């Protein structure tokens, strides 16, 4: 064996364990649930192997599933918009601040190290019947009975924004950091106001980061299972809750497969559109940080 062929084989030897793992634990399982979604669950509880369109007909035509899918996408869209509005100014401040940039970035990383379920349930301490806000209002004599603020759409969005905001800020920050500050100064010296130079120079240049953060927020929000269970009410089920219900509670695996694939196709289409226009590079930059 010559040195060249050894050199050429080496990367494949290094890559093979990961590629085998991904193939066996992700690619083939995904293909498998495509097949599974055409099987049928019989009344006896056994799965009937074959090619039946029943699950897909049910998943695609039943208004119940369609409404929950639309509700899920709505919640994800609102969450993403709120994250962008809250996060952009903060990211801008961090990117342009001179002093404690490192500290601000470190603080932004901290939530990633704190348990997601603890962060989600922490809102019960704030908004719950015996939480901070109700206790404060009662002790001030403004209200006499606690107000129920939890378990609705708003608290789901609140929980999701709390979870996803650091992703958004970091992605916007990465793209703002790459913009030459002197560009804005140049625009100003050519007669633009600060606001104009921001709108016409900085904002367009940071769209890539905003889009990367937006994609992450949207996909993670739309796939969430835990937040609606902890912070939502009984009628606030999102799509992942449906999937869980079908797979774990009802054990209807063929229908659960079809529902999972529906979510995958909708969110996958979004990722493909993003990839087509912006490529995966920006997303990787934000994630690798």
Partner 1 sequence: MSWMILRIWTALVYLFLFLPIGVVMLLSFNANQFGSFPVTGLSFRWFFKLANNDAILRAFETSLLLGSLTAVISTTLGVLASLALVRYKVPGQNMISTLLIAPILVPEVVLAVALLLFLNALSINKSFFLLLMGHVIFTLPFVVLVVQARLVNIRRDVEEAAMSLGASPRQTFFQITLPLLAPAIFAGMLFAFTISFDDITGTLFWKPGGVETVPTQIFAMLRNSISPEINALGTVMIILTVGLPLLGIGIVRKMSTKSSE
| Binds partner 1 (CB under 8 A): choice among 40, 78, 81, 104 | 104
List binders of partner 1 among 39-78 (CB under 8 A): none
Provide φ and ψ at 47, rounded to 5°: -90, 130
233 binds partner 1 per the rule CB under 8 A: no
165 binds partner 1 per the rule CB under 8 A: yes
Locate 278 and state its tokens.
């912006």
Smallest distance, Å, CB 190 to partner 1? Answer: 20
| Binds partner 1 (CB under 8 A): choice among 51, 144, 248, 277 | 248
Handedness of CA 243, 246, 55, 61 (dihedral sign): negative
Candidate segments 59-67, 91-99, 180-188, 200-208, binder of partner 1 by CB under 8 A: 91-99
Per the CB < 8 A criterion, the answer to whether 117 and 175 are in contact is no
List binders of partner 1 among 135-164 (CB under 8 A): 135-136, 139, 162
Q: Which SS3 state, helix, strand or coil, does residue 100 take?
A: coil
203 binds partner 1 per the rule CB under 8 A: no
269 binds partner 1 per the rule CB under 8 A: no
Residue 58, classified by CB atoms within 10 Å of its CB into exposed (0-12), middle (13-18) or buried (19+), is: middle
119 binds partner 1 per the rule CB under 8 A: yes
| Binds partner 1 (CB under 8 A): choice among 176, 201, 240, 255 | 240
Report the 10 Å Cβ neighbour count for 278: 15
Locate 89 and state its tokens.
């100014």
277 binds partner 1 per the rule CB under 8 A: no
Per the CB < 8 A criterion, the answer to whether 222 and 76 are in contact is yes
């Amino acid at each position: 064996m010559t040195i060249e062929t050894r050199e050429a084989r080496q990367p494949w030897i290094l890559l093979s364990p990961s590629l085998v793992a991904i193939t066996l634990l992700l690619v083939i399982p995904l293909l498998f649930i495509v097949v599974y979604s055409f099987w049928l669950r019989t009344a006896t509880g056994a799965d009937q192997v074959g090619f039946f369109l029943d699950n897909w007909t049910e998943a695609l035509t039943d208004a119940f599933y369609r409404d929950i899918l639309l509700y899920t996408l709505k919640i994800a869209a609102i969450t993403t918009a709120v994250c962008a509005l809250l996060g952009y100014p903060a990211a801008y401040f961090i990117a342009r601040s001179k002093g404690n940039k490192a500290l601000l970035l470190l603080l932004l990383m901290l939530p990633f190290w704190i348990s997601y379920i603890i962060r989600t349930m922490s809102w019960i301490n704030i908004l719950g019947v015996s939480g901070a806000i109700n206790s404060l209002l009662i002790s001030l004599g403004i209200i006499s009975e606690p107000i129920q603020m939890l378990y609705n759409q708003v608290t789901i969005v609140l929980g999701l924004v709390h979870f996803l905001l650091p992703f958004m800020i970091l992605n916007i920050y990465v793209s703002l950091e790459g913009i030459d500050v002197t560009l804005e100064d140049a625009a100003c010296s050519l007669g633009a106001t600060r606001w104009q130079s921001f709108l016409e120079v900085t904002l367009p240049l940071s769209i890539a980061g905003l889009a990367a953060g937006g994609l992450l927020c949207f996909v993670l929000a739309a796939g969430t299972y835990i937040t609606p269970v902890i912070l939502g009410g009984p009628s606030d089920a999102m799509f992942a809750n449906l999937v869980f219900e079908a797979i774990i509670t009802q054990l209807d695996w063929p229908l659960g497969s079809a529902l999972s694939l529906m979510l995958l196709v909708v969110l996958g289409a979004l990722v493909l559109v993003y990839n087509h226009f912006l490529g995966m590079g920006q997303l990787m930059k934000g994630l690798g940080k």
